[in-house]
A and B are shown apart, each in its own frame.
Chain A
Amino acid sequence: MVHKFILRRLLMMIPVLLGVVLVTFTLLYISPGCPARNRLGEQATPEAIIQLRAEMGLEDPFIVQFGRYIAGVVTLDFGNSFRTDQPFFDEILIRFPTTLHLAGMAVVLSLLIGIPLGIISAMKQYSWADAGATFLGLLFVSIPNFWLGMILLLIFAVELGVLPSLGWSAGVGTEFSNWHHWILPTITIGASAAAIIMRMTRSSMLEVVRQDYIRTARAKGQTPFKIIFKHSLKNALIPVTTVAGLQFGFLLGGAILTETIFSINGVGRFMMQAILNRDSPVVLGVALLLAFTFSIVNLLVDILYAFIDPRIRSQYR
């Protein structure tokens, strides 16, 4: 049954991804600016521009261009970047690991901070610890992460001068040795995610500890430790998993601002430059990649549910 469920979900992704491409394609189609002129420069003659446009296939009707792109995607050909003329696939392979690393680290950080704080906050509701954690949680949800990044840079790179302000790309084997390069971006992205996860853990725990089975556990004299970690947390973590999955997908795309601030050569910054340059294949490719990753992560979260929650597991038997 489970593989049937997964297969159905994978098939359901197709129209969504098609929709994403259609929306992005239409937006790019109506965008002002001409990629051919960008490549040839301001002095290019109109004839040369028209000729290059024809070569790039930009003179064809909308539906032909769209069909051509979809046909390419089906054969895993995402086209070449208008700017560098390199295949999109090669370009993204340089940058995706960086962003993946950043988002992954941020999610790990946010789970490590958010879940314990959320548990403490819920268990000691209305205590000073709860008030403090709730306040901090709300504060970090509210601080725009690009501003947080700038403030961290001001403190650690400008005033204290202990950490470098820019330049980092993930290399195999150097993920941990050059931590001083990625620690600030990770905190920048992870802080708001940690706050969101903390808030979610807290409200979810509060919901769970009101259930009858918790009262039963307490009435039969179960130790508080076991009640918190075995009876409550397991049930409370289900919505937290969803949020963490959503956050991971969100961070992949949302890293755009952080990558800009820290001058990190990742997917977000790549996308940003591509949009400004009207580099359609890159914009389309990144949009598709992010939507795909987002959908896959959501699917994985749903599958993970089954491992955490036997009630859901039994539905798919």
Chain B
Amino acid sequence: MTNVNPQKQMSKEAMAPEKFAGTKRLDRFMEVWRRFRRNPLAVAGLVMILLMGVLAISADWIAPGTEFDPGYDIQNLPARLVRPGDTFNTGFLDDYGNPIYESVGIFGTDHLGRDMLGRIAHGSRITLLVAFLVVTISMTLGVTLGAIAGFYGGVSDNIIMRVIDVILAMPTILLAITIAAALDPGLHTIIIAVGVGAIPGYARITRAQVLTLRDQEFVEAARSVGANDFRLIRKHILPNCMAPIIVEATMGLAGAIASAAALSFLGIGLAPPTPEWGAMLADGRRFMLAGEWHMTVFPGVAIAMIIFSLNMMGDGLRDAFDPRLRSAGFSKKRFKRQLQAIEAKKAGAKEV
């Protein structure tokens, strides 16, 4: 895969390490991006996430609000529970005395006659915002705690990891529910409730990474030229353990979306009429047994789709960062090729 001449690379670094520091980082990024780009599933995930972003941005255009109602809460009672493709009786008569029928948005309307498409579009804003904030906060806390535990070890490690154990011992969703019930409802409560359960993942990964890195020679070298602990962790250790953290964060976005939706579904998330997708599913459940399938199907598809895209992207990122698990395998062809290569090597060695 790498056909870079090692000698050439080395001389480049030896010549001007400072000058090329930025380029090197960019090179690494481009390398990862090149591998990522080759993975169709991962690219599909990225595209779907970008589309979701477009949906969130254009929500006000899809469902414009009025002076009195935000775009997601425009009720139209004659049009309640209209399935996609159906029409509803507006209650008005045309010039010949026939009732006027109108069609609704492609996803139908809910039990208050609100357009499902508009609500899903507005809901994507909340979903993306919650996911982003949860991951940012829990990642910052988790990485900091993990780095401290891994770098210093001893008592601080013990204390931090025991606290992490406690959080891990409680099922994530139950922890989130208990926290959400204790604080007053709102966006910040959801973010805290979901975020606390996500901290252990980052902390454990960071700690494991820091443990393998802290005694390596480049850290020793930096310490010997007078870098303090903070600088060592921030400049030398953390940049080297970002790959698994980025993968975890991508998956964490998916997890945060699922947990937030679950909380809202159980009715302890955001209060109505917020178009949170989980809350919309809870509405859908009330009308599900009556056969109003569209209220259950569409918000759920939206949730599943964004989680699916994020997971695809996360898988792709993992493969791009760590390509070891790709290539090779159990196939007979490859095995034969391997054996041939070994034979060839032996033959070559004999000739020499």
Contact = CB atoms under 8 A, between A and B. Distances in A.
Contacts of A268: 174
Contacts, number: 151
A19 B293 CA distance: 44
A20 to B, nearest CB: 6
A250 B182 contact: no
A207 B297 CA distance: 38
A49 B89 CA distance: 53
A165 B171 CA distance: 26
Given A32-B182, A147-B300, A291-B169, 5 more contacts: A19-B163, A146-B281, A159-B293, A210-B328, A294-B171
B166 A272 contact: no
Interface in A82-127: 122-126
Contact of B178 (A159, A218, A283): A283
Interface string B308-337: 100110010000000001001111000100
B329 A126 contact: yes
Given A144-B304, A272-B177, A20 B311 contact: no
B320 to A, nearest CB: 15
Given A151-B300, A275-B181, A283-B178, A142 B308 contact: yes
Interface string B237-268: 00000000000000000100010011001101
Contact of A146 (B41, B262, B307): B262
Contact of A141 (B170, B281, B311): B311
Interface string A127-171: 000000001001101111011001101100111000001000000
Contacts of A276: 181, 268
Contacts of A283: 178
A55 to B, nearest CB: 24
Interface in B133-179: 162-163, 165-167, 169-175, 177-179
A259 to B, nearest CB: 11
A249 interface: yes
Contacts of B166: 16, 19-20, 23
B171 A150 contact: no
A247 to B, nearest CB: 11
A286 B170 CA distance: 10
Interface residues of B, number: 51
B229 interface: no
Contacts of A249: 171
Given A143-B304, A150-B296, A125 B330 contact: yes
B13 interface: no
B284 interface: yes
A257 B285 CA distance: 12
Interface SS of chain A: helix
A27 B170 CA distance: 13
Contacts of A32: 182, 184
B339 interface: yes
A146 to B, nearest CB: 6
Nearest to A278: B181
Nearest to A125: B329
Most buried by B among A141, A147, A206, A215: A147
B187 interface: no
Interface string A18-33: 0110011001101110
A209 B329 contact: yes
Contacts of A271: 174, 177
A142 B177 contact: no
Given A150-B300, A158-B288, A142 B307 contact: yes
A260 interface: yes
Contact of B261 (A144, A250, A260): A144
11 contacts: A16-B169, A19-B162, A19-B165, A141-B311, A143-B308, A215-B335, A253-B173, A256-B174, A268-B174, A271-B174, A294-B171
Which 10 A-B pairs give the minimum distances between C-beta atoms? A253-B171, A19-B166, A142-B308, A147-B300, A125-B329, A291-B169, A142-B307, A27-B182, A31-B182, A143-B304
A151 B308 contact: no
B269 to A, nearest CB: 13
B219 interface: no
Nearest to B301: A147
Nearest to A214: B330
